[in-house]
Structure 1
């Protein structure tokens, strides 16, 4: 039996709540480019995860919820949009023939993030994971071209799929509102203390930038 949308969202939130105690602040250099999945996301707004919440915490939830929306749209497409489904099937077959697929099979906390860190000025990479993935993709033959009529029909089906995705997204946000208090309570319990500790440590280092931990002579 197909699970209801509410059941899927409930299970995704529960999975995120189980993961959250394992979250730790990143110690590496932050990224310059914003995450397109999380920036301005209505899902995060409904969940009560504002811009003051670390991106890693946001991304773990938004990715899990987006997977639910994508799955619902995929089922709708399979049932009602044959041309778009055929195009997606061809693209899926093409993707499976690639020899290198580093972005597949990732945990929700890492799905959709850039494959490589931001480059450091003056220190170019010898190679990048994204570059190797592009090389593997270039070796796979392109999909056959469409006629103008087929393109027009495909655009119509894409529009219908987008409208359905928006409808599912609104319903998902409504369901998330019911979990908002639990989500914010978990952030207060597991995330905010770690951020406060980082800020306290930063404050101490700024107050005494040259302090070696040894007292002054005669003190």
Structure 2
């Protein structure tokens, strides 16, 4: 029996909360471009995750909610949008033909993130994961072209799928409001102490920039 949307959201939040104690602040260089999935997300706002919450914490929840939306849209498309479904089936077959698919099978905390770090000026990469994936993709034949009439019909079905996705997203936002208190409580327990510790370390390093081993409270 198909699970209700309320059950799916509750189980996804539960899974994210089980992962949350394992989160640790990233030590690598941050990215310049914001994450399109998380930046300004109404789903994260509904869950009570503001812009002061680290992106790594946000991403795991937003990805889990996106999976719910994607699954709902896939079921709706299979029932009601035959042309779009046929196009998706062809694209799925093309994807399966690729020999290298590094973006598949990732944990929710990493799904949708860039495959490679931002380049450092003057230090080019010998190769990149995304570049290898593009080479693999180029070896697979392109899908057959569509007629103008087919393109117009496909655009209409895509618009219907987008409308349905937006409807499901709004319902998820409503359901997430019931989880705000426990989400915020877990953030306070597992995330905020680590952020405070990082800020304390930064304060100590700024107090003694030339003596990293010195006691910042010691007076000369």
TM above 0.5: yes
Seen in structure 2, the aligned counterparts of structure 1 residues 214 and 56 have a Cα distance that, compared at 3 Å, is closer
Deviations 1:86-118, CA, capped at 9 Å, x for gaps: 000000000000000000000000000000000
Report what 1:193 is aligned to. Answer: 193
In structure 2, the gaps of 5 or more residues are none
User: Partners of 1:147 and 1:82 in 2: how far apart?
Assistant: 16
In structure 1, the gaps of 5 or more residues are none
How many correspondences in the alignment?
216
Deviations 1:47-83, CA, capped at 9 Å, x for gaps: 0101100000000000001000000000000000000
Deviations 1:22-69, CA, capped at 9 Å, x for gaps: 000000100111101001111101001011000000000000010000
Report what 2:129 is aligned to. Answer: 129
Query: What displacement does 1:214 show?
Result: 5.4
For the aligned residue pairs, the C-alpha RMSD in angstroms reads 1.0
User: Partners of 1:212 and 1:205 in 2: how far apart?
Assistant: 7
Query: What displacement does 1:211 show?
Result: 1.4
Report what 2:43 is aligned to. Answer: 43
Report what 2:87 is aligned to. Answer: 87
TM-score (norm 1): 0.97
Seen in structure 2, the aligned counterparts of structure 1 residues 163 and 214 have a Cα distance that, compared at 3 Å, is closer
User: Partners of 1:27 and 1:78 in 2: how far apart?
Assistant: 43
TM-score (norm 2): 0.97
- Runs of 4 or more above 2 Å deviation: 212-215
